[in-house]
Amino acid sequence: MKLDKITASLVNAAIRIYLRHAYDDAGLRDAHAVQFADGLAISDILSQFSRESSTLQSYSLRLGCEWYPHMKLTLSEAYYPGEFVFVVDRHDGFDFSMSGPGYEEWLGTRSRNHHVKLAIEEDWYKEAVPTMRSLRETKLSESDIVRAFSGDRVLIVDNDADTCAILEMILGEAGIAAVWVPGVADAAQVLQDKEQHFGLALVDMLLTDGTGLDVVNLIRNRASTQEVPIILVSAMPEKEVKANDADGYLQKPYSAEQLSQAVKAMLRRRYEGGDLLTK
């Protein structure tokens, strides 16, 4: 949705739905409530959000949730300049030592965060608050995807189905085929499939059954895939992610053009001008 079409009532609806799922305790829910006056311009509304550091515009309210205070409601430009969607930023993608104390509890917190994110974004979609799903549906109806793929495919590892559908569409329009799986276990399974051949892996840092670094290790520790280039994706600055074994990095939010350029550049470096790309 274009930014000038986002009204105060739409922002208030997004906040109300968010808080309904994030807080069971009515007192805590009321304590975190934010209400903007009807008719208030979106520029004035966003002046009360925090501007995130990214290439595309992204604005956040740290509304938290009952068990995790760092979660955010974010209004972000999503892949296509000028197109904005509401997203729940779990803000729990940083590395957590598997050998450290509290690791199992941390996995439980991340899983709970993931489920509340899904519930919020599902209700946003149902109540016509712009989301990744609505953007996917709009762009798919407008898209003329190139189907004459050639060469190895891109493996996308990301637990957000709507995001992955958009990524597949963006790459498809560039003549690049993609296959996506939602997590570490699924990645391990598809990497064992001798019928699958990947020219590149695009791996999100935040997965429900581990992290993107687990997928990086899977790829690097298999003889048949250890040379596959990897682009790691995260909302965190690159310096905060221990991604030494990855070949590239994309910080969210990024544009469709940035994605296509990064993938094409990585594939060209690997295949040295071969016929993998159709455009």
The last residue of one of the domains, among 134, 154, 176, is 134
Q: What is the pLDDT of residue 98?
A: 64
- Number of folded domains that form the chain: 2
Residues 107, 172 within the same domain: no
Q: Please check whether residue 220 is in contact with residue 244, taking contact to mean a CB–CB distance below 8 angstroms.
A: no
Tell me the C-alpha distance between 30 and 52, whole Å: 25
Residues 189, 239 within the same domain: yes
Q: What is the pLDDT of residue 275?
A: 42
Q: What is the pLDDT of residue 267?
A: 85
Residues 19, 118 within the same domain: yes
Specify the amino acid at residue 17: I
Q: What percent of the chain has pLDDT over 90?
A: 63
Q: Is residue 185 part of a domain?
A: yes
How high does pLDDT run on average in the chain? 88
pLDDT at 266 over 60: yes
Specify the amino acid at residue 25: D
Q: Please check whether residue 152 is in contact with residue 49, taking contact to mean a CB–CB distance below 8 angstroms.
A: no
Q: What is the pLDDT of residue 238?
A: 81
pLDDT tens for residues 64-92? 999 999 999 999 999 998 999 999 999 88
pLDDT tens for residues 228-246? 999 999 988 887 777 778 9
Residues 130, 153 within the same domain: no
Q: What does the pLDDT average to over 211-239?
A: 91
Specify the amino acid at residue 240: E
Residues 191, 249 within the same domain: yes
Residues 203, 126 within the same domain: no
Q: Is residue 276 part of a domain?
A: no
Q: What is the pLDDT of residue 35?
A: 96
Residues 113, 168 within the same domain: no
pLDDT tens for residues 1-53? 999 999 999 999 999 999 999 999 999 999 999 999 999 999 999 999 999 87
The pTM (predicted TM-score) of the whole model is 0.77
Q: What is the pLDDT of residue 268?
A: 82
Domain range for 226: 145-271
Residues 128, 157 within the same domain: no
Domain containing residue 197: CATH number: 3.40.50.2300
Residues 59, 87 within the same domain: yes
Q: Is residue 263 part of a domain?
A: yes
**All residues at 6 or more sequence positions from 279 whose CB lies less than 8 Å from its CB, including other chains:** 146, 174, 175
Residues 96, 150 within the same domain: no
Backbone conformation region of residue 130, classed left if phi is above 0, alpha if psi is from -120 to 50, else beta: beta
SS3 category, 161: helix
Q: Is residue 212 part of a domain?
A: yes
Residues 237, 204 within the same domain: yes
Q: What tokens were used for 7?
A: 């009204």
pLDDT tens for residues 111-133? 999 999 999 999 999 999 999 99
Q: 143 pLDDT band (50/70/90 cuts)? A: low
The last residue of one of the domains, among 79, 102, 134, is 134
Q: What is the pLDDT of residue 272?
A: 59
pLDDT at 147 over 50: no
Q: Please check whether residue 154 is in contact with residue 202, taking contact to mean a CB–CB distance below 8 angstroms.
A: yes
Q: What does the pLDDT average to over 272-277?
A: 45
Q: What is the pLDDT of residue 96?
A: 63
The last residue of one of the domains, among 105, 134, 163, is 134
Specify the amino acid at residue 189: Q
Tell me the C-alpha distance between 212 and 215, whole Å: 5
Residues 92, 180 within the same domain: no
**All residues at 6 or more sequence positions from 2 whose CB lies less than 8 Å from its CB, including other chains:** 82, 83, 84
From residue 29, alpha-carbon distances to 11, 22, 89, 261 in Å are 16, 8, 18, 43
Q: Is residue 139 part of a domain?
A: no
